[in-house]
């Protein structure tokens, strides 16, 4: 009899607690409706409402409430994206942190303006179902931390060269009136940034900054400007085959945001200018009756013949198909100027070029033919393919005119 009474009390307690939890969720949702009703948004009230939810299970019930559209939105995610604008960056980060405390994971694309303020890219807030577990062994993390000073030294040695400075200055003076950009004012800020660089390891559980590929990237940097937090975020769920090259790549992104080493137009013109001729015949270009895939294959065959490549037309065509898929997935990324500059810097590091040496077709051929693989080389080749396989000799020559040339510690004078 005593046991039965105890069980009834336990059951009654559970029922009452569930009712309390449900009432709390209902109240949180009602406060959310009030906060977003009519014109404007009561931002603090939304955060207070979210804080009322005490667990991920309660949050699941809270999310379901949005199906009645009383907030004007059919989901929590849509409500945040619809009510918060660029200037709500700090508020978005507060929401993300509050949700993390109850094991609900959300991300948003953020950046920092010239005043150092957190800004939100509208429409990019999303809830993440997957929780990525860290897989990177402690030894690998130590490797990243050991390589950072080496990558910083690589950049300091390169930036310290008078030849580097002269080439950076010349490339800017060729595009804009002399004096508009002056290396004597820019380079000291580069060195200050290099001295403050740090690494933060992340997985989806502790990431409150997001970009388009943060969960699949080896690493990324956020806020590419002089007010950057100067942190290189390294993904613990990925196994990067070339962490040293990645560090050089990511540091270039920060440099680019502070002041590019080369004008964007000069980097863009590497691949295609108004006078660029694609490696195709007039009949292929002018015919609208040829199947697109057939056209790509004929184009690829022409490129293979001109370069003496050891591969089939279909294998080369895959570069263009892959580039087109990437462009649909992330418009503009394949040939984005800052990405290309980072790719080039990492490539020069990979080939260990001595001062004065240049990238050559012979170096790239094994990677074009899929006999070798390297992430940064692949992204350069994807942009080449996306632009219709322009003359590779001219493209490489233009790459070699950039203020970018690999040197490293103990390799003598730097040649940009």
- Find the angle CA(298)-CA(303)-CA(309) to the nearest 5 degrees: 120
Q: Which residues contact 63 (CB under 8 A, 6 or more apart)?
A: 75, 76
- Find the helix or strand (DSSP H, E) in which 210 lies: none
CB under 8 A, 24+ apart: contacts of 86-90: 86/119, 86/120, 86/121, 86/122, 87/119, 87/120, 88/43, 88/120, 89/117, 89/118, 89/119, 89/120, 90/117, 90/118
% residues pLDDT > 90 (the chain):
28
Q: pLDDT, tens digit, for every residue of 177-222?
A: 777 778 888 899 999 999 999 998 887 656 555 554 566 788 988 7
Give me the phi and psi of 139, to 5 degrees please: -65, -40
CB 144 within 8 A of CB 199: yes
Q: Could you tell me the pTM of the whole model?
A: 0.64
pLDDT at position 10 over 60: no
CB 404 within 8 A of CB 261: yes
- Find the angle CA(44)-CA(223)-CA(194) to the nearest 5 degrees: 135
Domain boundaries, the chain: 14-128, 138-262, 272-334+360-399
Q: Which residues contact 222 (CB under 8 A, 6 or more apart)?
A: 110, 111, 112, 209, 211, 228, 229, 231, 233
What is the structure's pLDDT at 373? 86
What is the structure's pLDDT at 168? 87
When comparing pLDDT for 138 and 6, which is higher?
Answer: 138
DSSP 71-111: TSSSSHHHHHHHH--GGGHHHHHHHHHHHHTTT-EEE-BEE
pLDDT at position 262 over 50: yes
pLDDT at position 281 over 50: no
Using CA atoms, how far apart are residues 83 and 95, in angstroms rounded to an integer?
A: 13
When comparing pLDDT for 5 and 151, which is higher?
Answer: 151
Average pLDDT over residues 230-236: 88
Using CA atoms, how far apart are residues 111 and 119, in angstroms rounded to an integer?
A: 5
Q: pLDDT, tens digit, for every residue of 109-126?
A: 877 766 667 788 888 898
In the chain, the largest separation of any two C-alpha atoms, in whole Å, equals 95
The 3-state DSSP class for residue 207 equals coil
Using CA atoms, how far apart are residues 153 and 261, in angstroms rounded to an integer?
A: 18
Q: pLDDT, tens digit, for every residue of 196-206?
A: 999 988 876 56
Q: pLDDT, tens digit, for every residue of 282-326?
A: 333 444 455 666 778 888 898 899 899 998 888 888 888 888 888
Using CA atoms, how far apart are residues 257 and 21, in angstroms rounded to an integer?
A: 48
What is the structure's pLDDT at 410? 32
Average pLDDT over residues 64-83: 91
């Amino acid at each position: 009899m005593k046991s039965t009474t105890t069980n009834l009390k336990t059951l009654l307690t559970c029922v009452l607690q569930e009712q309390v939890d449900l009432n709390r969720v209902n109240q949180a949702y009602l406060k959310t409706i009030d906060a977003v009703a009519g014109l404007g948004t009561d931002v603090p009230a939304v955060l207070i409402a979210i804080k009322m939810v005490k667990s991920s299970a309660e949050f699941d019930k809270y999310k379901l409430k949005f199906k009645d559209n009383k907030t004007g939105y059919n989901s929590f995610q849509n409500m945040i994206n619809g009510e918060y604008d660029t200037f709500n960056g700090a508020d978005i980060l507060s929401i993300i942190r509050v949700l993390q405390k109850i094991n609900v994971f959300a991300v948003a694309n953020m950046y920092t303006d010239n005043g150092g303020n957190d800004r939100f890219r509208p429409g990019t807030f999303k809830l993440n179902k997957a929780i990525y577990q860290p897989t990177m062994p402690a030894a690998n993390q130590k490797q990243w931390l050991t390589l950072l000073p080496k990558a910083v030294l690589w950049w300091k040695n390169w930036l310290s060269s008078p030849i580097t400075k002269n080439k950076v200055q010349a490339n800017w003076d060729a595009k804009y009136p002399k004096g508009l950009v002056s290396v004597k004012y820019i380079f000291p800020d580069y060195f200050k940034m290099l001295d403050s660089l740090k690494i933060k390891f992340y997985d989806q559980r502790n990431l409150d900054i997001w970009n388009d590929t943060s969960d699949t990237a080896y690493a990324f940097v956020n806020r590419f400007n002089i007010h950057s937090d100067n942190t290189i975020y390294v993904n613990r769920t990925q196994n990067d085959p070339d962490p040293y090259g990645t560090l050089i790549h990511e540091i270039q992104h920060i440099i680019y945001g502070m002041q590019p080493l080369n004008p964007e137009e000069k980097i863009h013109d590497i691949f295609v200018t108004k006078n660029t001729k694609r490696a195709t015949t007039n009949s292929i270009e002018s015919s609208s009756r040829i199947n697109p895939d057939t056209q790509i294959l004929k184009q690829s065959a022409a490129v293979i013949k001109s370069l003496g490549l050891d591969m089939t037309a279909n294998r080369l065509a895959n570069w263009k198909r892959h580039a087109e898929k990437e462009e649909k997935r992330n418009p503009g990324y394949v040939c984005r100027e800052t990405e290309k500059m980072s790719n080039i810097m990492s490539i020069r590091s990979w080939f260990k070029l001595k001062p004065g040496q240049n990238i050559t077709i012979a170096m790239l051929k094994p990677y074009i033919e899929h006999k070798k693989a390297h992430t940064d080389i692949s992204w350069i080749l994807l942009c080449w393919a996306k632009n219709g396989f322009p003359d590779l000799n001219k493209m490489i020559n233009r790459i070699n005119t950039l203020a970018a040339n690999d040197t490293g510690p103990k390799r003598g004078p730097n040649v940009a």
